[in-house]
Amino acid sequence: MIITITIHKGGTGKTTIAVNLARFASEQGKKVLLVDLDTQGNATDNFDFDKTDLSAYETSANLFVADNQKRIITVTPNLDIIPASSDLLAIERFPVESANTFKTCLQRHANNYDLVVIDTPPTMGFGMLAPLVASDYALAPIVPDAYSIKGVRSLIERIKEIQYNQNPGLKFLGLLINQWDRRSQAQLKVVEALKIIGGNLIPYAIGVHVAVGYSAHARQAVWHGARNGAHRKAGKAVKGALDWILNRMEEGYDGKGIQRDQY
């Protein structure tokens, strides 16, 4: 199974969800590959390995140009990574046919894994298009603010376009509400609007937790190294959402009929 975590907006938690989903699935005994397509390389930076010379290893930019069959980096038991590199800056200039090259190369790797998780850049460019063409599932973390609705509309339109023209097997699991503040009337209004436009809200939300940011700096899963009750609460919330995502993929869920009572 291949899932792309995507939304063409920064600060929504794409990398947090991608990295923690990869970690969570690997801890469940699945063989997982994490692919970092964001030029910022934040998913790559979540793991400790020598990044000074990646020439002998597969990088995400390589997937667009050739089937090199380079070595894959193992970062934790059951978890490998295809890291970002500076070459990613050039992919927006690649011909559209490179999406097919990416799909072919990615599928070759995917055959060796139970799950492939792709972290994407916060743009509506080639770095977002190619993984959606190659994926079985897509998921969009979203912070319910004033700018969310327009972004969600355009994302859903792009996914429908890809489903119709290039990847009819692509399933959109829905929107994962992140940095959720139940007391915020502004957020509640945005969430209600997202329901109306067909945003497919998954029945879990991740609140505003300091521990989520701390875990990224500590290069560990949110549920590891809990320092207090709030940290444990954050870990439980994140694991609940990730467990839902994994179960829905295993069931072949298509994102329709999602419960919305939580909101």
10-residue mean pLDDT profile of the chain (263 residues): values are: 88 89 96 94 90 85 80 93 88 81 92 96 80 93 81 86 91 88 82 73 83 80 80 86 92 60 48
Q: How far is CA 69 from CA 72, 85, 116, 182, 252, in A?
A: 9, 17, 17, 48, 30
The pLDDT, as a whole number, for residue 93 is 81
**Would you state the structure tokens that stand for residue 175, as one six-digit string?**
């929107």
Residue entry with tokens 């799909």? 103
The pLDDT, as a whole number, for residue 259 is 42
Contact between 106 and 37 under an 8 Å Cβ cutoff? The reply is no
The pLDDT, as a whole number, for residue 236 is 86
The pLDDT, as a whole number, for residue 100 is 87
Contact between 84 and 120 under an 8 Å Cβ cutoff? The reply is no
- Supply the Cα-derived Rg of the chain in whole angstroms: 17
**Would you state the structure tokens that stand for residue 33, as one six-digit string?**
């590959």
Q: Report how far residue 42's alpha carbon sits from residue 38's, in angstroms, rounded to the nearest whole number.
A: 7
The pLDDT, as a whole number, for residue 82 is 95
User: What phi and psi, each to the nearest 5 degrees, are found at residue 35?
Assistant: -115, 120
The DSSP secondary-structure symbol of 252 reads T
Domains of the chain by range and CATH? 2-251 (3.40.50.300)
Contact between 2 and 118 under an 8 Å Cβ cutoff? The reply is yes
Contact between 79 and 26 under an 8 Å Cβ cutoff? The reply is yes
Q: Report how far residue 253's alpha carbon sits from residue 156's, in angstroms, rounded to the nearest whole number.
A: 17
The pLDDT, as a whole number, for residue 258 is 46
The secondary element (H helix, E strand) that includes residue 80 is strand 79-82
pTM for the full model? 0.92
Max CA-CA distance within the chain? 52
